Structure 1
Amino acid sequence: MVRRWLQEQRRLGRAYQPRFQRRHLSVTWLGALLSLALLGLLSTWSGMALLTAPLGASSVLLFGYPASPLAQPRNLVLGNLVGGLVSVLAVAWLGRGPLVIALAVALTILLGQQLRCLHPPAGGLAFLGVALGARPSFLLTPVLNGSLLLVLLAAGFSRWVKGAQPYPVHWL
Protein backbone atom coordinates (compact mmCIF):
# COMPACT_ATOMS: atom_id res chain seq x y z
CA MET A 1 0.00 0.00 0.00
CA VAL A 2 2.80 2.44 0.88
CA ARG A 3 4.70 1.43 -2.25
CA ARG A 4 1.66 2.19 -4.43
CA TRP A 5 1.24 5.58 -2.75
CA LEU A 6 4.93 6.45 -3.32
CA GLN A 7 4.70 5.44 -6.98
CA GLU A 8 1.62 7.60 -7.42
CA GLN A 9 3.36 10.57 -5.77
CA ARG A 10 6.37 10.21 -8.09
CA ARG A 11 4.08 10.04 -11.12
CA LEU A 12 2.15 13.13 -10.01
CA GLY A 13 5.37 15.01 -9.29
CA ARG A 14 6.58 14.42 -12.83
CA ALA A 15 3.24 15.57 -14.23
CA TYR A 16 2.97 18.79 -12.22
CA GLN A 17 6.51 19.96 -11.65
CA PRO A 18 7.85 22.11 -14.47
CA ARG A 19 11.01 21.08 -16.25
CA PHE A 20 13.51 23.73 -17.25
CA GLN A 21 15.71 23.57 -20.32
CA ARG A 22 19.43 24.07 -19.82
CA ARG A 23 19.50 27.14 -22.07
CA HIS A 24 16.91 28.78 -19.80
CA LEU A 25 18.77 27.84 -16.64
CA SER A 26 21.83 29.69 -17.84
CA VAL A 27 20.04 33.05 -18.15
CA THR A 28 17.12 33.11 -15.70
CA TRP A 29 19.28 33.73 -12.65
CA LEU A 30 20.95 36.57 -14.54
CA GLY A 31 17.61 38.27 -15.18
CA ALA A 32 16.70 38.22 -11.50
CA LEU A 33 20.16 39.39 -10.48
CA LEU A 34 20.23 42.30 -12.90
CA SER A 35 16.64 43.39 -12.25
CA LEU A 36 16.92 43.36 -8.48
CA ALA A 37 20.33 45.03 -8.62
CA LEU A 38 18.85 47.76 -10.82
CA LEU A 39 15.93 48.22 -8.40
CA GLY A 40 18.44 48.49 -5.58
CA LEU A 41 20.51 51.07 -7.46
CA LEU A 42 17.41 53.07 -8.36
CA SER A 43 16.36 52.94 -4.71
CA THR A 44 19.70 54.34 -3.62
CA TRP A 45 19.77 56.97 -6.34
CA SER A 46 16.16 58.15 -5.93
CA GLY A 47 15.83 57.74 -2.18
CA MET A 48 12.66 55.68 -2.74
CA ALA A 49 12.45 52.16 -1.34
CA LEU A 50 11.82 50.15 -4.52
CA LEU A 51 13.30 46.91 -3.28
CA THR A 52 11.33 44.73 -0.84
CA ALA A 53 11.39 41.03 -0.03
CA PRO A 54 8.03 40.33 -1.75
CA LEU A 55 9.38 41.86 -4.97
CA GLY A 56 12.28 39.44 -4.69
CA ALA A 57 9.70 36.66 -4.54
CA SER A 58 7.96 38.17 -7.58
CA SER A 59 11.26 37.97 -9.46
CA VAL A 60 11.40 34.23 -8.75
CA LEU A 61 8.17 33.84 -10.70
CA LEU A 62 9.09 36.38 -13.39
CA PHE A 63 12.46 34.89 -14.23
CA GLY A 64 12.20 31.36 -12.89
CA TYR A 65 8.82 30.45 -14.37
CA PRO A 66 7.67 33.30 -16.64
CA ALA A 67 4.97 31.18 -18.30
CA SER A 68 3.13 30.78 -15.00
CA PRO A 69 -0.28 32.46 -14.94
CA LEU A 70 0.69 33.86 -11.52
CA ALA A 71 3.68 35.68 -13.07
CA GLN A 72 1.78 37.59 -15.76
CA PRO A 73 1.66 41.40 -15.56
CA ARG A 74 -1.99 41.55 -14.52
CA ASN A 75 -1.36 39.19 -11.64
CA LEU A 76 1.88 40.78 -10.55
CA VAL A 77 0.86 44.44 -10.69
CA LEU A 78 -2.78 44.15 -9.62
CA GLY A 79 -2.08 41.37 -7.13
CA ASN A 80 0.65 43.40 -5.45
CA LEU A 81 -1.59 46.49 -5.44
CA VAL A 82 -4.34 44.48 -3.76
CA GLY A 83 -1.89 43.27 -1.11
CA GLY A 84 -0.61 46.80 -0.57
CA LEU A 85 -4.08 48.31 -0.38
CA VAL A 86 -5.32 45.67 2.03
CA SER A 87 -2.33 46.29 4.29
CA VAL A 88 -2.80 50.07 4.28
CA LEU A 89 -6.51 49.74 5.09
CA ALA A 90 -5.88 47.09 7.74
CA VAL A 91 -3.32 49.30 9.49
CA ALA A 92 -5.64 52.34 9.30
CA TRP A 93 -8.65 50.47 10.70
CA LEU A 94 -7.15 47.78 12.92
CA GLY A 95 -3.59 48.77 13.70
CA ARG A 96 -0.72 46.30 13.72
CA GLY A 97 -0.23 42.86 15.16
CA PRO A 98 -0.22 39.17 14.31
CA LEU A 99 -3.99 38.87 13.89
CA VAL A 100 -4.08 41.90 11.61
CA ILE A 101 -1.25 40.38 9.54
CA ALA A 102 -3.18 37.10 9.26
CA LEU A 103 -6.35 38.93 8.24
CA ALA A 104 -4.51 41.05 5.66
CA VAL A 105 -2.87 38.03 4.02
CA ALA A 106 -6.14 36.07 3.99
CA LEU A 107 -8.04 39.01 2.46
CA THR A 108 -5.32 39.45 -0.15
CA ILE A 109 -5.77 35.82 -1.19
CA LEU A 110 -9.55 36.15 -1.30
CA LEU A 111 -9.51 39.37 -3.31
CA GLY A 112 -6.78 38.08 -5.64
CA GLN A 113 -8.95 35.07 -6.43
CA GLN A 114 -12.11 37.17 -6.84
CA LEU A 115 -10.40 39.72 -9.08
CA ARG A 116 -8.45 37.06 -11.01
CA CYS A 117 -5.11 38.60 -10.13
CA LEU A 118 -3.71 36.10 -7.63
CA HIS A 119 0.04 36.57 -7.10
CA PRO A 120 1.62 34.70 -4.15
CA PRO A 121 4.14 37.44 -3.25
CA ALA A 122 1.18 39.83 -2.81
CA GLY A 123 0.52 38.03 0.46
CA GLY A 124 4.06 38.93 1.45
CA LEU A 125 3.37 42.58 0.64
CA ALA A 126 0.23 42.49 2.80
CA PHE A 127 2.28 40.92 5.61
CA LEU A 128 5.10 43.44 5.24
CA GLY A 129 2.72 46.39 4.99
CA VAL A 130 0.98 45.56 8.25
CA ALA A 131 4.26 44.73 10.01
CA LEU A 132 5.72 48.11 8.96
CA GLY A 133 2.53 50.10 9.63
CA ALA A 134 2.10 51.02 5.94
CA ARG A 135 0.70 54.39 4.97
CA PRO A 136 -0.93 55.25 1.61
CA SER A 137 2.46 56.17 0.08
CA PHE A 138 3.36 52.44 0.40
CA LEU A 139 1.03 51.83 -2.58
CA LEU A 140 3.09 54.01 -4.89
CA THR A 141 6.55 53.17 -3.59
CA PRO A 142 7.50 50.34 -3.43
CA VAL A 143 4.35 48.48 -4.51
CA LEU A 144 3.31 50.07 -7.82
CA ASN A 145 6.67 51.48 -8.92
CA GLY A 146 8.58 48.32 -8.00
CA SER A 147 6.01 46.02 -9.62
CA LEU A 148 5.87 47.99 -12.88
CA LEU A 149 9.65 48.20 -13.09
CA LEU A 150 9.99 44.44 -12.55
CA VAL A 151 7.44 43.69 -15.29
CA LEU A 152 9.15 46.04 -17.73
CA LEU A 153 12.60 44.66 -16.92
CA ALA A 154 11.40 41.07 -17.33
CA ALA A 155 9.71 41.87 -20.67
CA GLY A 156 12.83 43.63 -21.93
CA PHE A 157 15.13 40.89 -20.67
CA SER A 158 13.10 38.19 -22.43
CA ARG A 159 13.40 40.06 -25.73
CA TRP A 160 17.03 41.20 -25.50
CA VAL A 161 18.75 38.14 -24.05
CA LYS A 162 19.17 35.09 -26.22
CA GLY A 163 17.88 31.96 -24.51
CA ALA A 164 15.50 33.76 -22.14
CA GLN A 165 11.95 32.45 -21.99
CA PRO A 166 9.34 34.72 -23.59
CA TYR A 167 7.55 37.08 -21.19
CA PRO A 168 4.75 37.96 -20.85
CA VAL A 169 2.45 35.28 -22.19
CA HIS A 170 -0.33 37.89 -22.01
CA TRP A 171 -0.57 41.43 -20.63
CA LEU A 172 -4.11 41.33 -19.21
Structure 2
Amino acid sequence: MVWRWLQADRARGRAYQPRFEHQEVIAAWLGGVLAITLLGLISLWSHYPLVVAPFGASTVLLFGHPRSPLAQPRNIVMGNTMAALVSVACVHWLGGDPWVMGLAVGITIALGQRLRCLHPPAGAVALLGVLLHAKPLFVMLPVFTGSVLLTAMAVVFSRLHALSDHYPHHWI
Protein backbone atom coordinates (compact mmCIF):
# COMPACT_ATOMS: atom_id res chain seq x y z
CA MET A 1 0.00 0.00 0.00
CA VAL A 2 2.74 2.47 0.95
CA TRP A 3 4.69 1.61 -2.21
CA ARG A 4 1.70 2.49 -4.43
CA TRP A 5 1.25 5.77 -2.58
CA LEU A 6 4.93 6.64 -3.08
CA GLN A 7 4.77 5.79 -6.78
CA ALA A 8 1.63 7.88 -7.26
CA ASP A 9 3.16 10.75 -5.31
CA ARG A 10 6.32 10.62 -7.40
CA ALA A 11 4.25 10.67 -10.61
CA ARG A 12 2.28 13.70 -9.38
CA GLY A 13 5.53 15.47 -8.48
CA ARG A 14 6.79 15.14 -12.04
CA ALA A 15 3.72 16.98 -13.26
CA TYR A 16 4.26 19.94 -10.91
CA GLN A 17 8.01 20.28 -10.59
CA PRO A 18 9.90 21.72 -13.56
CA ARG A 19 12.70 19.72 -15.14
CA PHE A 20 15.87 21.41 -16.28
CA GLU A 21 18.31 20.31 -18.95
CA HIS A 22 21.99 20.09 -18.06
CA GLN A 23 22.76 23.21 -20.12
CA GLU A 24 20.02 25.16 -18.31
CA VAL A 25 21.50 24.22 -14.94
CA ILE A 26 24.95 25.42 -15.99
CA ALA A 27 23.52 28.65 -17.44
CA ALA A 28 21.51 29.30 -14.25
CA TRP A 29 24.58 28.68 -12.12
CA LEU A 30 26.72 31.00 -14.24
CA GLY A 31 24.03 33.70 -14.36
CA GLY A 32 23.61 33.63 -10.59
CA VAL A 33 27.35 33.79 -9.96
CA LEU A 34 27.84 36.66 -12.41
CA ALA A 35 24.80 38.69 -11.29
CA ILE A 36 25.56 38.67 -7.57
CA THR A 37 29.30 39.16 -8.18
CA LEU A 38 28.66 42.15 -10.48
CA LEU A 39 26.18 43.65 -8.02
CA GLY A 40 28.79 43.28 -5.29
CA LEU A 41 31.49 44.85 -7.44
CA ILE A 42 29.26 47.76 -8.41
CA SER A 43 28.60 48.26 -4.70
CA LEU A 44 32.32 48.36 -3.96
CA TRP A 45 33.16 50.70 -6.83
CA SER A 46 30.24 53.09 -6.28
CA HIS A 47 30.34 53.01 -2.47
CA TYR A 48 26.56 52.51 -2.53
CA PRO A 49 25.09 49.41 -0.88
CA LEU A 50 23.33 47.36 -3.55
CA VAL A 51 23.44 43.84 -2.15
CA VAL A 52 20.86 42.53 0.31
CA ALA A 53 20.09 38.91 1.14
CA PRO A 54 16.66 38.84 -0.58
CA PHE A 55 18.44 39.47 -3.89
CA GLY A 56 19.87 35.96 -3.60
CA ALA A 57 16.33 34.63 -3.78
CA SER A 58 15.43 37.00 -6.63
CA THR A 59 18.48 35.70 -8.49
CA VAL A 60 17.29 32.11 -8.06
CA LEU A 61 14.05 33.04 -9.81
CA LEU A 62 15.72 35.23 -12.47
CA PHE A 63 18.27 32.64 -13.55
CA GLY A 64 16.88 29.38 -12.20
CA HIS A 65 13.34 29.71 -13.53
CA PRO A 66 13.11 32.82 -15.73
CA ARG A 67 9.83 31.64 -17.27
CA SER A 68 8.08 31.95 -13.91
CA PRO A 69 5.54 34.78 -13.70
CA LEU A 70 7.12 35.62 -10.33
CA ALA A 71 10.49 36.27 -12.04
CA GLN A 72 9.29 38.90 -14.51
CA PRO A 73 10.54 42.50 -14.28
CA ARG A 74 7.24 43.86 -12.94
CA ASN A 75 7.31 41.36 -10.11
CA ILE A 76 10.94 41.86 -9.21
CA VAL A 77 11.17 45.65 -9.42
CA MET A 78 7.66 46.53 -8.24
CA GLY A 79 7.43 43.70 -5.71
CA ASN A 80 10.76 44.44 -4.03
CA THR A 81 10.27 48.23 -4.12
CA MET A 82 6.75 48.02 -2.73
CA ALA A 83 8.04 45.76 0.08
CA ALA A 84 10.74 48.31 0.91
CA LEU A 85 8.13 51.08 1.04
CA VAL A 86 5.94 48.95 3.31
CA SER A 87 8.81 48.21 5.67
CA VAL A 88 9.88 51.86 5.89
CA ALA A 89 6.29 52.94 6.60
CA CYS A 90 5.81 50.23 9.22
CA VAL A 91 9.05 51.14 10.99
CA HIS A 92 8.21 54.84 10.88
CA TRP A 93 4.72 54.47 12.33
CA LEU A 94 4.92 51.27 14.37
CA GLY A 95 8.55 50.58 15.30
CA GLY A 96 10.44 47.32 14.96
CA ASP A 97 8.62 44.85 17.22
CA PRO A 98 8.09 41.27 16.07
CA TRP A 99 4.42 41.87 15.29
CA VAL A 100 5.51 44.72 12.98
CA MET A 101 7.73 42.27 11.10
CA GLY A 102 4.75 40.01 10.55
CA LEU A 103 2.52 42.91 9.58
CA ALA A 104 5.05 44.19 7.03
CA VAL A 105 5.34 40.76 5.41
CA GLY A 106 1.55 40.30 5.42
CA ILE A 107 0.94 43.71 3.85
CA THR A 108 3.61 42.94 1.24
CA ILE A 109 1.85 39.70 0.31
CA ALA A 110 -1.57 41.36 0.09
CA LEU A 111 -0.33 44.32 -1.95
CA GLY A 112 1.71 42.04 -4.21
CA GLN A 113 -1.44 40.06 -4.97
CA ARG A 114 -3.64 43.12 -5.46
CA LEU A 115 -1.10 45.00 -7.58
CA ARG A 116 -0.17 41.86 -9.56
CA CYS A 117 3.51 42.11 -8.61
CA LEU A 118 3.82 39.16 -6.23
CA HIS A 119 7.49 38.23 -5.76
CA PRO A 120 8.34 35.81 -2.92
CA PRO A 121 11.70 37.44 -2.07
CA ALA A 122 9.79 40.69 -1.47
CA GLY A 123 8.60 39.18 1.80
CA ALA A 124 12.25 38.97 2.82
CA VAL A 125 12.77 42.59 1.75
CA ALA A 126 9.90 43.67 4.03
CA LEU A 127 11.25 41.61 6.93
CA LEU A 128 14.79 42.89 6.42
CA GLY A 129 13.58 46.50 6.30
CA VAL A 130 11.91 46.15 9.69
CA LEU A 131 14.88 44.29 11.16
CA LEU A 132 17.22 47.06 10.00
CA HIS A 133 14.83 49.85 11.09
CA ALA A 134 15.05 51.04 7.49
CA LYS A 135 14.99 54.69 6.57
CA PRO A 136 13.51 56.04 3.30
CA LEU A 137 16.85 55.70 1.46
CA PHE A 138 16.47 51.90 1.81
CA VAL A 139 13.80 52.07 -0.89
CA MET A 140 16.18 53.52 -3.50
CA LEU A 141 19.46 52.02 -2.26
CA PRO A 142 19.69 49.09 -2.26
CA VAL A 143 16.20 47.86 -3.15
CA PHE A 144 14.99 49.72 -6.25
CA THR A 145 18.41 50.24 -7.82
CA GLY A 146 19.54 46.68 -7.05
CA SER A 147 16.30 45.21 -8.44
CA VAL A 148 16.65 47.18 -11.68
CA LEU A 149 20.30 46.16 -12.05
CA LEU A 150 19.54 42.47 -11.40
CA THR A 151 16.74 42.54 -13.94
CA ALA A 152 18.96 44.28 -16.52
CA MET A 153 21.68 41.67 -15.95
CA ALA A 154 19.16 38.88 -16.54
CA VAL A 155 18.00 40.51 -19.79
CA VAL A 156 21.57 40.89 -21.07
CA PHE A 157 22.53 37.38 -19.94
CA SER A 158 19.54 35.82 -21.70
CA ARG A 159 20.49 37.58 -24.93
CA LEU A 160 24.07 36.32 -24.71
CA HIS A 161 23.29 32.61 -24.34
CA ALA A 162 21.18 30.77 -26.86
CA LEU A 163 19.79 28.03 -24.62
CA SER A 164 16.21 29.17 -24.44
CA ASP A 165 13.80 31.92 -25.30
CA HIS A 166 14.71 35.38 -24.12
CA TYR A 167 13.94 36.86 -20.73
CA PRO A 168 11.63 38.55 -19.92
CA HIS A 169 8.44 36.94 -21.11
CA HIS A 170 6.58 40.19 -20.40
CA TRP A 171 7.59 43.56 -19.01
CA ILE A 172 4.38 44.73 -17.41
Q: TM-score range by the shorter chain?
A: over 0.9
The total of aligned residue pairs comes to 172
Deviation string 1:119-156 (CA, Å, 9 cap, x unpaired) is 00000000000000011111101110000000000000
For 1:60-99, what aligned pairs fall within 5 Å after superposition?
60-99=60-99
TM-score by length of 1: 0.95
Q: For the residues of structure 2 that align with 1:92 and 1:138, how far apart are their CA atoms? A: 13
Name the counterpart of 1:139.
Answer: 139
Displacement of 1:24 in angstroms is 1.1
Q: For the residues of structure 2 that align with 1:82 and 1:8, how far apart are their CA atoms? A: 41
TM-score by length of 2: 0.95
For 1:121-132, what aligned pairs fall within 5 Å after superposition?
121-132=121-132
Q: For the residues of structure 1 that align with 2:132 and 2:139, how far apart are their CA atoms? A: 13
1:103 alignment partner AA: L
Task: Quote the sequence identity (%).
Answer: 57
Q: For the residues of structure 1 that align with 2:157 and 2:164, how far apart are their CA atoms? A: 7
For 1:46-61, what aligned pairs fall within 5 Å after superposition?
46-61=46-61
For 1:140-155, what aligned pairs fall within 5 Å after superposition?
140-155=140-155
Gaps of at least 5 residues in structure 1 are none
Q: For the residues of structure 2 that align with 1:164 and 1:54, how far apart are their CA atoms? A: 26
Gaps of at least 5 residues in structure 2 are none
Deviation string 1:40-93 (CA, Å, 9 cap, x unpaired) is 011111111101100111000000000000000001111001110110000001
Displacement of 1:12 in angstroms is 1.7
Name the counterpart of 1:41.
Answer: 41
Kept in 2: contact 1:66–1:165 (CA 8 A): no
